[in-house]
């Protein structure tokens, strides 16, 4: 009984010492607060976004690195191209390796007008080994509504090379895909919602949050007058243009873009177990808990020793000596008081020598125990 009380007293003293150390660390750790940011950095106008375009075409002029005859759709495409020029050919007569079927993609920026140029990406579809030195033949680029918004053509830049002879080859970068700078010409103007609705528009937050949306609406009303903005949900804020801005939405956006907004931070922890990365943000709180974490290291060492029997010419024997050593690095049981922030806990655990991967395990255990008051995301 005396021995048990002695051990219990030792544990309590360690807990008290750890709690004092933790309290010192918690007192020195800064607390999270709302962040002041510009409106243009946290919100964008609904509908004012890029549109994706895609097309199918062929790249010609390849030095024997194009699709083989086993790629049927490449042969069919060559036939269609020849027929458009008044020539006829059958699949058996097409044996070229200088042509490759490709998918062409581009991003159509908002407010784009006909005649503007955009970059395109060209990617091989078949078994072509390289698009180096090739030229994209005129290709139509369509949007999701199947309308043609641009046409692309020009030499493909792969930013690398592949060369070889006698069964040996060397390759630099990825040569089965490339880009054509300013290779597409826009053929149709883009119409955005702010051009269709002169009465107002919607702001959309990049990180949805009810408090941030309310702060945005309050700031706009304080700057441009009551009734200008209304938060519809955690992501959307409706803006009704004041009378002096009717017909001048661009001027309103310019005047509002530099307004300072109080952005509320989310209590969230993001962890990547593959790289041992942990990132946390927001005013994360912890309920009272105790943490004990230790590592068990097992080392097995084998040494082979040659043993020669005396007074004999026999082949020397081999003696194997194996040593097994188990070492456990003990960690003190650390008490965490209530309402401590995760940043303070991480700083205290770092002082104890806890590695990032151990932190990930501890954070997961805190969530499972119900002590961590935050959203945990593992990527």
pLDDT (tens digit, 9 = 90+) per residue, 44-64? Answer: 998 888 899 999 999 999 988
Q: Are residues 115 and 175 in the same domain?
A: yes
Q: Where is average pLDDT lowest: 150-164, 191-205, 277-291?
A: 277-291
How far lies 167's CA from each of 96, 160, 164, 361, in Å?
22, 20, 7, 49
Residue 272: per-residue pLDDT: 82
Residue 155: Cβ-neighbour burial (10 angstroms; 0-12, 13-18, 19+) = middle
Q: Are residues 246 and 279 in the same domain?
A: no
**For residue 319, is pLDDT > 70?**
no
**174-186 mean pLDDT:** 93
Residue 230: per-residue pLDDT: 94
Tell me how crowded residue 209 is: count the other CB atoms within 10 A of its CB. 17
> In the numeric block, which tokens belong to residue 123?
């990617």
Q: Are residues 225 and 170 in the same domain?
A: no
Query: How would residue 323 be classed by pLDDT, with cut points 50, 70 and 90?
Result: low
* Cα radius of gyration (the chain): 34
Q: Are residues 59 and 139 in the same domain?
A: yes
- The whole domain housing 318 covers 14-32+269-378
* Domain assignment present for 4: no
* Domain assignment present for 317: yes
Residue 287: per-residue pLDDT: 73
Whether 103 and 136 have beta carbons less than 8 Å apart is answered as no
* Domain assignment present for 59: yes
Q: Which residue has the higher pLDDT, 49 or 237?
A: 237
Q: Are residues 339 and 365 in the same domain?
A: yes
Extended beta strands in 28-134, E state: 35-38, 43-45, 51-60, 100-108, 117-124
- pTM recorded for the entire structure: 0.65
Residue 307: per-residue pLDDT: 64
CATH number at residue 257: 3.30.1360
Residue 58: per-residue pLDDT: 95
Q: Which residues, 6 or more positions from 229, have their beta carbon under 8 angstroms from its beta carbon?
A: 203, 216, 217, 220, 221, 237, 238, 239, 240
Query: How would residue 265 be classed by pLDDT, with cut points 50, 70 and 90?
Result: confident
- At 1-41, the pLDDT tens digits run 444 444 434 433 443 344 333 333 333 344 445 678 888 88
The sign of the dihedral angle between the CA atoms of 33, 36, 39, 41 is negative
Residue 1: per-residue pLDDT: 43
Q: Are residues 210 and 257 in the same domain?
A: yes
* Domain assignment present for 5: no
Among the candidates 229, 246, 263, a domain finishes at 263
> In the numeric block, which tokens belong to residue 108?
């159509």
Q: Is 199 left (phi over 0), alpha (psi -120 to 50) or beta?
A: alpha
**221-225 mean pLDDT:** 92
- Percent of the chain at pLDDT above 90? 28
Among the candidates 228, 263, 298, a domain finishes at 263
Among the candidates 186, 208, 233, a domain finishes at 186
Range 241-244 contact pairs with CB under 8 angstroms and sequence separation of 24 or more: 241/198, 241/199, 241/200
Query: How would residue 99 be classed by pLDDT, with cut points 50, 70 and 90?
Result: very high
Number of domains in the chain: 3
Q: Which residue has the higher pLDDT, 246 or 230?
A: 230
Query: How would residue 97 be classed by pLDDT, with cut points 50, 70 and 90?
Result: confident
Among the ranges 14-18, 126-130, 331-335, 338-342, which has the highest mean pLDDT value? 126-130
Mean pLDDT of the chain: 78
* Alpha-carbon span 296 to 66, nearest angstrom: 56
**219-234 mean pLDDT:** 92
* Domain assignment present for 2: no
* Alpha-carbon span 288 to 372, nearest angstrom: 10
* Domain assignment present for 63: yes
| Short-list 260, 62, 266, CA closest to 158 | 62
* Domain assignment present for 297: yes
Q: Are residues 56 and 175 in the same domain?
A: yes
Q: Where is average pLDDT lowest: 99-103, 224-228, 276-280, 285-289?
A: 285-289
């Amino acid at each position: 009984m005396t021995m048990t009380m002695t051990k219990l007293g030792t544990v309590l003293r360690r807990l008290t010492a750890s709690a004092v150390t933790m309290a010192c660390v918690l007192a020195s750790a800064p607390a999270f607060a709302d962040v002041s940011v510009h409106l243009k950095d946290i919100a964008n106008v609904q509908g004012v976004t890029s549109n994706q375009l895609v097309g199918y075409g062929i790249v010609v002029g390849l030095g024997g690195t194009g699709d083989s005859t086993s790629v049927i759709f490449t042969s069919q495409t060559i036939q269609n191209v020849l027929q458009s020029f008044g020539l006829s050919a059958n699949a058996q007569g097409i044996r070229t390796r200088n042509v490759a079927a490709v998918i062409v993609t581009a991003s159509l920026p908002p407010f784009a007008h006909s005649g503007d140029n955009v970059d395109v990406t060209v990617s091989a579809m078949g078994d072509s080994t390289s698009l180096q030195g090739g030229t994209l033949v005129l290709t139509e680029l369509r949007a999701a509504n199947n309308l043609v918004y641009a046409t692309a053509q020009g030499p493909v830049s792969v930013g690398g090379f592949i060369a070889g002879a006698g069964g040996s080859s060397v390759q630099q970068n990825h040569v089965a895909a490339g880009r054509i700078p300013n290779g597409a010409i826009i053929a149709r103007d883009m119409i955005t919602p702010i051009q269709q609705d002169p009465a107002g528009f919607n702001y959309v937050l990049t990180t949805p949050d009810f408090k941030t949306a309310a702060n945005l609406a309050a700031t706009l009303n304080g700057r441009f007058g009551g009734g200008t903005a209304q938060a519809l949900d955690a992501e959307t804020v409706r803006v009704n243009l004041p009378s002096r801005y009717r017909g001048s939405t661009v001027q309103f956006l310019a005047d509002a873009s530099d307004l300072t907004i109080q952005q509320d931070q989310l209590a969230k922890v993001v962890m990547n177990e593959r790289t041992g990365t942990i990132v946390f943000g927001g005013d994360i709180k912890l309920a009272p808990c105790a943490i004990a974490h230790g590592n068990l290291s097992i080392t097995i060492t084998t040494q082979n020793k040659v043993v020669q029997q005396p007074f004999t010419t026999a082949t020397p024997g081999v003696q194997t000596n194996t040593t097994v050593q188990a070492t456990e690095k003990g960690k003190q049981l650390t008490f965490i008081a209530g309402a401590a922030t995760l940043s303070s806990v991480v700083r205290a655990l770092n002082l104890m020598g806890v590695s990032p991967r151990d932190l990930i395990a501890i954070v997961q255990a805190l969530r499972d125990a119900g002590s961590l008051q935050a959203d945990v995301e593992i990527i």
